[in-house]
Amino acid sequence: MERHIQQFVDYDMVNRIVNGFETFPQKVLGPHQVDGGYVITAYHPSACGMTIRLEGETSDREMECIHDKGVYSIFLPGKKYKKYRITKYFQDGNHVTGEDPYSFSSFITEADCYLFGNGIHYQIYEKLGAHPMELDGVYGTYFAVWAPHAKRVSLVGDMNMWDGRVYPMRRREDMGIFELFIPHIGPGEIYKYEILTQKSDLILKSDPFGNEFQMRPENASVVTDLKGFDWQDGGWMRKRNASDTYKLPMNIYEVHIGSWKRAGEKQDTFMNYREIAHDLAEYCEYMGYTHVELMGISEHPFDGSWGYQVTGYFAPTSRFGNPKDFMYFVDYMHQHGISVILDWVPAHFPKDGFALGRFDGEPVYEHPDSRLGEHPDWGTYIFNYGKKEVSNFLIGSALFWLEKFHVDGLRTDAVASMLYLDYGKQDGQWVANKYGGKENLEAVEFLKHLNSIVERRQPGAMVIAEESTAWPNVTKRPEDDGLGFTYKWNMGWMNDFLEYVSKDPLFRKGVHNKLTFAMAYHHSEKYVLVLSHDEVVHGKCSMINKQPGEMYEKFQGLRTAYGFMFGHPGKKLLFMGQDFAQLREWSEERSLDWYLLDDPMHRKMHNWVRALLHLEKDYKALYETDYTDGFEWMNCDDNEKSIVTFVRKSPNGKNSLLFVCNFTPVVWDKGYRVGVPNAGKYKEILNSDSEEFGGSGEYMNGDVRATKQEWDGKDYSIPVIVPPMSCVIFEYTHKIEEAQEKSQTQTKKKTTKKKSSTTKKTTTATAKKRTTRKTTAKK
């Protein structure tokens, strides 16, 4: 054996490589400088011979076999290193020529390791995962995975017949990151990681940072190239980054792409992202939706999870196409003025053996203590938020969708389960924090970190919390001791509202506060009012069937309910199918019942919701002042009649709106008197009893002039014809100056009274003093 080879090669390490137990194969494989030249060692378990050709040479040099299981080596004298190609020969007469994977420089830098280890590598998705690229002048794919407890990680796939001995990956000594560049493979290549655990078990895992996966039930990762998409939404993105979301209309259409519409004669085939984009954008524009919120876009194995048990945090599901198809979807929506929000799930992840759970045989992404790392009710793992690399993984995922796919916002699922250590657990199933409390302090810090970084890097993007408890300051900034979310779903309003509208009208007066209570805490957070998918599944009934009574009464009730909802402050979300009163509960297994639009009652309900959506878009009173002083009750106390009246005021007073909502089947055709803010004309612009919306058309108002007749504590009032079970909306001009003058006058009166009272007190006190002096003098 050549002397330099004999001196350099560690034969114990060679044996471990051959037997699949070596953690640092790069210490033997690839080129290594030695005294007088270089030793190059290569390995393939099935090779019966190898030759090498240096760059610039025309002939091959034979490599020396140093282990009969396919390890070959050669010494090349000289100080100058030259690129080379190796030819591997096999017993069946075939041979393969290519660059040596172990000859390429590392793509992971010390800075990358430092940032990742400290949880602040905000573009970690550019380094970990599979990335087609040119490295050292050669095209191929670079692979990197974090597996800190692994003895060995190998890349396996069709490129090496799924043989884990062929491509053992190089481990960086300063981090548990394994990496390898494989020349001449690119998009479409299927792969996994074969991991040798500390217990010497072999497991196969998909790529946690993978950007594409096989169509379920298969679950291997797929190499894809995210570069090169021709985005057309530059203007949209610039405008987004400069906009104030709180002062813009937000009509969110919650959509499950797999069941919104389906293709094929039997409607049993998924549509592609590109097809869906065209149909969905057209529908949203027609209806007046400004945003779509997509359920279940991150890759997931089980359709019945609706996408909330994620296995691919950096990949759009392949059910509807490839990543560039999804880019097209977002780009097309933006070109048609529609924002895109994704449901994002950092609260938990499934235990599927091919995915994140026990990734390298040990807890990596989950907490090692099951009391902190598992949801017993859900059968899922909980992320270890205090682990910097895990926090970085999740923040990287959030930024990935916002930056790589131009998504406009993330709706963070199940935030309450993150905030409370005892969420869904019995005594003995959870551990208190260091102060003895049930708050998950590490999750709190993670959420603050997440939201502050999103705001800094993507200032126009939204992060919305699905948070169902009374946790304070969810939408306040982290520096003000808040969690930093842009919005919070108002689950309290939703529960109260649905309880109210589900009651028989006869009994609604007994729960009248369920309709009005939300305004008592409205200004504590930036709320979104939601009627989501969760409310129309698992025996809860569709929205139309939550309403009591005969079918025509159900339609009356639902029109009224929607009218009240769209008048109430807060941004709005409505789940698909509920805008045309789908009768059946939603199921992910079938398309919506679009045929119902052929029925006049459903079509007219559709018209009503469309009218409300466009009203929400067109009137600043309904969106610019959602979180200021743009709302005022006229009367919220008429529980006997179950009628509420309120106004929504625009910033300049013009095009303000008065809402009159009647939640009983009683008609007030002689005129129900309503207190109003000021004199002027009140023009009826929408009436749910109109024929075009499915009503009788008998109880319309037209224009009504306010008279100076005190009512509901207001100086002015109007008589309104109130149809049974209805919502009537009037447009008027809110006289801001008059209101201010009235307010100032009231303030002056109070001040005058206060001064008068003070004067009286002073006079009385002075008189008493004088009396006392006189009495003293007499004594």
Of 527, 615, 630, 517, nearest in space to 571 by CA: 527
* 491: its two tokens: 């689950």
Of 400, 247, 248, 407, nearest in space to 334 by CA: 407
CA 755 to chain CA centroid, nearest Å = 56
* 765: its two tokens: 């006190």
8 Å CB contact between 653 and 678? no
* 170: its two tokens: 């190089």
What separation in angstroms does the CA of 103 have from each of 48, 80, 100? 21, 15, 5
Phi, psi angles (nearest 5°) of residue 435: -100, 5
The H-or-E segment that residue 5 falls in is: helix 3-8
- Three-class DSSP category at 363: coil
8 Å CB contact between 152 and 195? yes
Q: What is the 3-state secondary structure (H, E, C) of 407-471?
A: CCEEEECCHHHHHECCCCCCCCCCCCCCCCCCECHHHHHHHHHHHHHHHHHCCCCEEEECCCCCC
8 Å CB contact between 596 and 581? yes
Sign of CA dihedral 597, 601, 607, 609: negative
Sign of CA dihedral 582, 585, 586, 591: negative
8 Å CB contact between 661 and 567? yes
Strand blocks (E) in 518-655: 527-531, 571-575, 631-638, 643-648
N- to C-terminal Cα distance for the chain? Answer: 131
Q: What is the 3-state secondary structure (H, E, C) of 672-688?
A: EEEEECCCCEEEEEEEC
Query: Exposed/middle/buried for 740, CB within 10 Å: 0-12, 13-18, 19+?
Result: exposed
- Three-class DSSP category at 319: helix
Q: What is the 3-state secondary structure (H, E, C) of 644-658?
A: EEEEECCCCCCCEEE
b/e sequence 511-537, b meaning 16+ C-beta within 10 Å:
ebebbbbbbeebeebbbbbbbbbbbbb
Q: How many CB atoms lie within 10 A of CB 571?
A: 28
- Three-class DSSP category at 322: coil
| Residue with token string 């640092």 | 24
For residue 122, give every residue at least 6 positions away whose Cβ sits within 8 Å of its Cβ, in sequence order, or none. Answer: 395, 396, 399, 453, 457
Q: Catalytic site residues?
A: 413, 466
